[in-house]
Amino acid sequence: MLKAIKFFIILFLSLIFSDGFANQTGSTTVEAYGAKGDGVTDDTYAIQKAINSPSRTVIFSKKNYIVNGEIVLMSNKAILGNQATISRSKLNSKNSIFYGNRISNITINDIVLKGNVKRGISNYSVDAATIRILNSQSVNISNVYTSGGTSGVQVYYSNSINIDGLISENNILTGLSGICNNLTLSNSKITNNGYASKGLTHDVYFINSSNLEIRNSTFGYTKDQSAFSVVVRYDRSNAKALFDRVKNVKIFNNSFYKNGLAVGSDPGIAVVKRMPPQQVSIYGNNFNWSDLKIDDPENISTYSNKNINNYICRVASSYPGYTIGLSSSNDHCKNIVQSSLRSNASRSTKAIIFNSTIIDNDLSTGLQNAKGFGGIKAFTLKSPQVKGNVQMKAIAENSNVKINR
C-alpha cells in the first residue's frame, strides 16, 4: 500500500513539473505549464507553475498573457519576456503583478506589464505595483515597460539592484519608488506618473537610500504640477537598520522636464531630527528649465548642469554633527533661490559656494529668498557670469551674501 502511494506521488509531481527535476539549471516555457497567451485566458496559475518549477530560466513568447492574480517570484530565476505583454482583464487595485519577498538573484527582462488599478476605487492599495520587491538582493530589471499600477516598480528594503531600460508611465503614485542601497538606474524613461496631489506623487521617489547612481535617463511631465519629478530624501518614519540615511548618491547625464529634481532631509519633522543628505554629486544634467532643489546639504557638489530654472537651496537642519556644505561650479540657471534659518546663516555664508555660476534672467534679480521658508539668503557667489538684465544690487545689500567678482 505504501509503495503504491509513493508511486502515485512521484507520478503526480512528474506531471506538474513536466521538464523534470534533472533540469534544475535549464529553461522552460510558460506554455509548458499550460499558459495560452491568447489575451483571454487567465494565465496566472500556469505562469506561477512555471516560476515554481526547477528551471532556472522561464521563457515567455511574444503574446498577450492575462494575469488577474499575483505572480510570486522565487530566488535564482531569470524571466525572459521576449516582448511579451502581461495585462489585467479585470480591475485589481490590491495586488501587484510580480511580487517577491526575501528573494535573491532574480532577473526580469524584456516584458510589458500593464496593471489595472483605479484610484477612485475604495480600498485601493499602495501595494498594487506592476513589480513589487521587498527585503531582497541582487535584482536585475531590464527593458521593462510598466503602466497602470499604483507604482510601476517598487523596491523596498533591498540591496544590489540594477534597473536599465525601464519605461514607466501613467502609474498612480510613482513610476519607480524605493528604499534601497547599491542601486543603479540607467537608460530609462520615467515620465507622466502621479496625479494632482499637492506634491505627494512623483516619477521617481527614493527615501533612506545610499550608494545610488542615476544616469542617462529622462524624467518629467509629472501629472502633479506641484511635485518634483525625482525626489531623493531622508524619511525618519521609514528608517530602520541599514536604511536610515541618504549618502553617496550620483545623479548625472540625465534630462529633466518641467518638474525637476529635489534632494533633501525630512521636511515634516523638527529641525533637530532632520538628517541631511551626504556626499551627493549632481552633474552634467539638462534641466530644460525645470527646478533643482537641495535641502540641508552636507558635502554636496553640483557642476556643469545646464538650463536650471530655479536653483533652490534651503538650510534649516540642526541635526547633531551637521556640517553645512554645498559647492556649485559652472551651473547655468535663471535664479539662485536660497534661504537659511538665522541660526545657520553665518555658517551658510562660508559653506554654500556658487562658483562661476551663469545667471541668465531678464525678469528678476537672479538671487531670491525661498518663499514660505523664512530665514535669509546666506551664501558666497564667486565669479558669477551675469547675462540678460539681472540686477545684482538688490542682493549685494544683504550682508549674509558675499559676491566676489
Q: What average pLDDT does this structure show over 372-400?
A: 72
- The SS3 call for residue 344 is helix
Q: What average pLDDT does this structure show over 32-56?
A: 97
- Per residue in 245-263, pLDDT (tens digit) is 999 999 999 999 999 999 9
Which region among 13-22, 68-77, 182-191, 315-324 has the lowest average model confidence (pLDDT)?
A: 13-22
pLDDT for 392: 58
C-alpha Rg value of the chain to the nearest Å: 25
The three-point CA angle 386-390-391 to 5° equals 115
pLDDT band at residue 123, thresholds of 50, 70 and 90? low
CA distances from 323 to 178, 269, 304, 347 (A): 27, 19, 24, 9
Q: What average pLDDT does this structure show over 275-299?
A: 97
Do 253 and 221 form a contact (C-beta atoms < 8 A)? no
- According to DSSP, the β-strands at 151-164 and 401-404 are unpaired
Mean residue pLDDT across the chain:
89
Beta bridge partners of 185: 163, 214
Which region among 112-126, 200-214, 258-272 has the lowest average model confidence (pLDDT)?
A: 112-126
What is the C-alpha to C-alpha distance for residues 111 and 113, in angstroms, rounded to an integer? 7
CA distances from 245 to 78, 208, 240, 320 (A): 31, 5, 9, 14
Does the pLDDT at position 140 exceed 50? yes
pLDDT for 119: 79
Does the pLDDT at position 270 exceed 50? yes
Q: Tell me the percentage of the chain whose pLDDT exceeds 90.
A: 74
Which region among 29-43, 83-97, 364-378 has the lowest average model confidence (pLDDT)?
A: 364-378
How many residues are given for the chain? 405
Residue given cell 538671487 in the structure block: 367
- The SS3 call for residue 376 is strand
Residue given cell 499550460 in the structure block: 34
What is the C-alpha to C-alpha distance for residues 111 and 303, in angstroms, rounded to an integer? 36
- Per residue in 296-348, pLDDT (tens digit) is 999 999 999 999 999 999 999 999 999 999 999 999 999 999 889 988 888 99
What is the C-alpha to C-alpha distance for residues 399 and 275, in angstroms, rounded to an integer? 28
DSSP 50-89: HHHSS-SEEE--SSEEE--S-EEP-SSEEEEEEEEEEE-S
H helices of 286-372, in order, are: 345-351
What is the C-alpha to C-alpha distance for residues 210 and 354, in angstroms, rounded to an integer? 25
pLDDT for 87: 97
Terminal CA-CA length for the chain:
96
Which region among 3-17, 47-61, 164-178 has the lowest average model confidence (pLDDT)?
A: 3-17
Q: What average pLDDT does this structure show over 169-183?
A: 97
pLDDT for 138: 98
Does the pLDDT at position 22 exceed 60? no
Of residues 93, 94, 153, the one with CA closest to residue 117: 93
Do 115 and 92 form a contact (C-beta atoms < 8 A)? yes
pLDDT band at residue 11, thresholds of 50, 70 and 90? very low
Does the pLDDT at position 232 exceed 80? yes
